[in-house]
Structure formats: structure tokens, C-alpha cells
Amino acid sequence: MTPLMGYLLVAALVFSIGLAGALTRRNAILVLIGIELMLNAANLNLIAFWRYGPHPELLTGMIFAIFSIAVAAAEAAVGLGLVIQIHRHAHTTDLDAINRMKG
């Protein structure tokens, strides 16, 4: 097994764990945690391909990962703000209980 393959398999495993968390948990915050894990797994793929790719001196993969980290931070801030607002409105963060779109 080459090093790149090991990193790709770890990233696939973390992505699947995040997807399972996002699809199976009832708490909205835990769903966001799953999405964060999936984003991080994608970042690991980018860094691994940058490190073992043919042109690491161009820094393409690493810059992509840094921008991805910045976008993920914005996503987390807006997502958690939405969860807090939903909790104020519906008095729960249980996604199975939030089943109507009317205010």
C-alpha cells in the first residue's frame, strides 16, 4: 500500500463516518458536525494529492485546501446561527420534530 492510498482510505473512512452521522442523528448540531467531518475528509484528499502529485511546487492543492477551510468556517457560522434561530422558533433541535415549513 502506497502512502497516498493510505491517506485516501482514511479520508474515505472519515467521509463515510461524517455522512453516517449527518444521515442518522436527530440533533441538528450533530448533523452539522457530520458535515464538518465530510469537509475535512475532502481537505485531507486535497492535501494528500498535493503532497504526492507531480507538481507540489505549484501549491495548487494546498491553496485549495486553505480556501476550503475558510469556506467551511463561514458555513459553520451560518449553520449554527440557523440552528439557534430554529431552536428559538420551534423550541427543539430534533430534526424529526421539525416537520413543518410554516412559521
Considering only residues 54 to 93 of the shown chain, the ones binding another protein according to CB under 8 A are: 54, 56-57, 59, 62-63, 65-67, 69-78, 80-85, 87-89, 93
Shortest gap between Cβ of 102 and another protein (angstroms)?
A: 16
* SS3 (DSSP) at 15: helix
Residue 100 beta carbon to another protein: minimum distance, rounded to whole angstroms = 17
Using CB under 8 A as the binding rule, whether residue 101 contacts another protein is answered as no
Task: Write out the H or E segment, with its range, that includes residue 101.
Answer: none
**Neighbouring residues of 74: CB distance < 8 A, sequence distance ≥ 6:** none
Q: Does 103 bind another protein (CB under 8 A)?
A: no
- Nearest alpha carbon to residue 37 among 59, 63, 11, 75: 11
